[in-house]
Amino acid sequence: MRRHLITDYIPGQAVYNLGEYPSRKPWNPDEYDECRLDQLWNEGIRLIQVMEDWNDLLRLFGGDKFTAVNPAGLRRFINMVHKRGMRILLYTSTGHFQITDRDFRPEWARPGFSTKAAHWQLVHCSAASAGWRAYVLPRILRIMDEYGVDGLYNDAGSRRLHRDPELATKDEVLAFEESPDHDGALGDLLSIIYSEVKRRGGHLQDPLTWVSIPQHTKTLGLSLGRRGRGQCRQAAGRVQEPPTLPGPML
C-alpha cells in the first residue's frame, strides 16, 4: 500500500446552505450569513462547503449547472468566508447531469437515471465518453477560475463501466481497464481534475471510496448555514424555525 503524506489538512468543515433552490427569487447573502460565519469560526470551522444550491441547475436565473444562481451574491459570500481566514469548496459533479438540460447529449450516458426525485432528473454521464469529457472538464475548472474558490467537492456520479458493457454508448472510448477492482476511465478523469485543482493551489474532495486517487480534505463536518439554529436568525429578523441539525458526517 502506497502512503501519501497530507500536508494541507484542514480541520473542521461545515456544509453550508446558501438558500433554497429551486425558488422564485435567488438567494442573496446578507448580515445573517456574516453572523453565521462568525459563529462557525468561533466553533473551530475552517472549511466551508456549499452544495448544489449555489448553481442554477434548472437555468431559472440565466445560468446553468456550472454557474451561480446569483454571481454577485456568491462572490460576496466567498469574500465573507475569506476575510475570516476560512476556505470554501463548491459542489460540482463529473458524472451527474440533468437530462432535461438543453446541452445534454444521449450519447454521453448509458440508459437509466442516477437520481429521479423532486426537481432532479439526473443521469450518469460516462467517464469514458469523449464528448462528455470535452464538455464537462473546462466548465468544472472554470468554477475555480471564475469565482476564486479554494477547491471543489466532486460528486463523481459515475456508473461502473465493467457492468453491462453491452450498454456502452457510441461515444465511449474504453481505453482503460474496467473491472470490479479498477475503474480506469473514472480514475483518469478524476486524476485530471485533481491535477488541475492542485495546480491552482486548491483542494479536491470526493466522497468515493472505490477510486484510487488522493483524498485531500477528509474532514468532519456539520450541515449548517441558512438552516442552522442560533441568534443569527433573530438578529436578521427571521421568524421561521429551521429544521433540526443532522448529526456529524465524514
State residue 227's pLDDT score.
Answer: 42
State residue 149's pLDDT score.
Answer: 96
CA distance 67 to 90: 11
Q: Is the peptide bond before 22 cis (omega within 30 degrees of 0)?
A: yes
State residue 68's pLDDT score.
Answer: 98
The answer to the question of residue 172 being in a domain is: no
The answer to the question of residue 165 being in a domain is: no
State residue 3's pLDDT score.
Answer: 87
The answer to the question of residue 65 being in a domain is: yes
- Biggest CA–CA distance in the chain, Å, is 58
Look up residue 180 and give its amino acid.
P
Residues in the chain predicted with pLDDT less than 50, given as ranges, are: 209-231, 233-250
Containing structural domain, residue 17: 10-91+220-250
The answer to the question of residue 237 being in a domain is: yes
State residue 243's pLDDT score.
Answer: 30
pLDDT digits (tens, 9 = 90+) for 8-52: 777 789 999 999 999 999 999 999 999 999 999 999 999 999 999
Report the half-sphere exposure of 11 (CA within 13 A, side-chain side).
2
The answer to the question of residue 125 being in a domain is: no
CA distance 131 to 80: 37
The answer to the question of residue 45 being in a domain is: yes
What is the number of domains present in the chain?
1
The answer to the question of residue 120 being in a domain is: no
How many angstroms separate the Cα of 213 from the Cα of each of 3, 145, 187? 12, 23, 7
How many angstroms separate the Cα of 103 from the Cα of each of 59, 127, 140? 11, 17, 15
The answer to the question of residue 24 being in a domain is: yes
CATH of residue 86: 3.30.750
CA distance 182 to 14: 32
